[in-house]
Amino acid sequence: MSSSSVVQEERVADPLLGAVSDLLEQSLTAMSDDKIIALLRDVEQATRMLAAVGHRLIVQASDRNLPNQTGTGTVKKFLMHTLRLSSPDAGARVAAALQLGSWHDMSGEAHEARLPATAAAQLEGDISVDHARQIAAVMKRVPGSTANTDFEAAECLLADFARTGSPDDIPKVGEAILAHLDPDGERTDDTDRARMRGIRIGRQRADGMSPIKGEITPTLRALLDPVMAKLARPGMNNPDDPESPSGDDEYVDQVQLAEAARRDARSVAQRTHDGFVALLTHCVGPEQLGSHRGLPVSTILTMSVADVEKAAGVATTATGGMVPISEALKLAEGSQPFLMVFDAQGLPLHLGRTKRLASAAQRLALIAAVRGCSRPGCDAPASVSATHHVTDWSKSGPTDIGNETLACDSCHAMVHDGPGGWKTVVLGPDSANPGRVAWIAPPHIDPSGKPRINNRHHPGELLAEALARVQRRKEQEGQQHRERLRQEQRLDGAA
């Protein structure tokens, strides 16, 4: 990309940025109510039209191969790094561009958007990003291909409704359309079901709970139904009833089960949840699933001695989750114990190896210490991370704990000597974080080249540091206040 093209692109946006700056400087207090309402509508229309401009820019970024030029690999990661977007936001923008953008084939010919009526409504500023997202969710469930007339008619109906209706009402309108198109579900085929399938597990909240939703295929339903018929039946696997039969009982005492069922006050949803716990606790394990990244497929918990002694706090898992200490200790019952010893900096003690691949013990040490991908900003947990050599094995880097860290597959691939490549270094003894592995971003992300560490997996440490800074600031303010009082007293005495 030439410097002249960068300057030209900056000039293209200058009128827009200038207009926004003028609007920000304009006083709103003198405007009438009608003018405020009109301005709200105008700004909303402009915002919606700018979303359509964003689709065009995403298409251009893909056509020009900008992700590979910058070493990010995908359009989503290019947006995340260049615009500092969150992963969900960047993913949503790419998904919207795929539905509403005009893409090109190998010959350069432009094709109409997948949802043309929706794209046109957004281009005119009549519908918002939420409108378009809800329409796309409904259209994903329309049976048949996008080339049939039913698909086109349904999309036009939804787009027309969205021009005057609320995004919250689009799913209801969509259900009515789908009921008309396929009242008996007979037109939905395997291709449609494959397109609709999915289970989404949301981020873990502060209370430890995680939302889950999705749609499952007939195959998964057929596999789950008989399992839940046993594990989630009344009386089975009740965590509040010590006499409740468990999922690993090959033969269940029917009298015991009937008595447990009479005591069972759980809802169907709660029994289903507890059935899944039993399934994953007793019926799925290393014997069936083998190993993953050199370790048995099992839950790996990290907890502090202080939290264990006071039976409070949380343990962290290799997948980035949190489990209350009380529940973590129950999970640990009957498992093979491992003891990990750390130095004063919180790093595992040295474990030298003469092989390229890290041992299981080293991976356990890294999981306990690093907890996840070490690239700044990445929240990938340890379960999807590989062992990364800071000094590469091919460059005589040892397979020692001091030369290793965790990196998820996508971040691991970003470390290279080519254009857009990241670098990793071990911070020295004079650093604020001696022994920690820091990452150096390529110039298009951080021209300063400053090594940075990732604290996303250490929220407790971040909180402690923040509290310490607040305490230091209060102490400084108190000292300054006392110094001012002494000065005032000296002045009064001199007078």
Q: Parse the chain into domains and list their residue ranges.
A: 3-194, 219-284, 291-457
Q: How far apart are CA 343 and CA 96, in angstroms?
A: 48
User: Sorting pLDDT into bands at 50, 70 and 90, what band is 293?
Assistant: low
Helix axes 268-278, 218-231, angle to 10 degrees: 90
Checking DSSP bridges between strand 212-215 and strand 423-426, what pairing results, if any? unpaired
Half-sphere exposure of 227 (CA within 13 A, CB side): 18
Distance of CA 136 to the CA centre of its chain: 21
Buried-exposed string 60-78: b where 16+ CB fall within 10 A, e elsewhere: ebbeeebbeebbbeebbbb
Predicted confidence band at 39 (pLDDT cuts at 50, 70, 90)?
Answer: very high
Query: What mean pLDDT is predicted for residues 291-320?
Result: 61
Least confident of 151-165, 240-254, 348-362: 348-362
Q: How confident is the model at residue 402 (pLDDT cuts 50, 70, 90)?
A: low
- C-alpha distances (whole Å) from 383 to each of 277, 294, 337, 399 are 19, 11, 19, 20
pLDDT of res. 44: 94
Residue 134: CB atoms within 10 A of its CB come to 23
Q: What is the mean pLDDT of residues 86-110?
A: 89
Which pLDDT score is estimated for 401? 57
Mean pLDDT of all residues belonging to the chain: 78
- Give yes or no for a contact between 317 and 299, defined as CB atoms under 8 angstroms apart: yes
pLDDT at 412 over 60: yes
> Which pLDDT tens digit goes with each residue over 73-87?
899 999 999 998 998
Percent of the chain whose predicted confidence (pLDDT) is above 90: 21
Among the listed ranges 128-132, 134-138, 219-223, which one has the minimum average pLDDT value?
219-223
- Assess contact for 120 and 159: CB atoms under 8 A: yes
The SS3 assignment for 386 reads strand
Higher-confidence position of 347 and 303: 303
Burial class (CB in 10 A: 0-12, 13-18, 19+), 333: exposed
Task: Give the model confidence (pLDDT) of 52-64 as tens digits.
Answer: 999 999 999 999 9
Give residue-wise pLDDT tens across range 240-253.
898 898 876 667 78
pLDDT of residue 470: 72
Q: Residue 6 has what pLDDT?
A: 45
User: pLDDT tens-digit profile of 21-38?
Assistant: 999 999 999 899 889 988
Please report the pLDDT score of residue 309 as a whole number.
56
> What's the pLDDT at 1?
45
Give the pTM. Answer: 0.52
* Residues whose CB falls within 8 Å of the CB of residue 212, separated by 6 or more in sequence, listed in order: 199, 200, 201, 202
Q: Which residues contact 23 (CB under 8 A, 6 or more apart)?
A: 43
The region of weakest confidence among 4-18, 66-80, 207-221 is 4-18
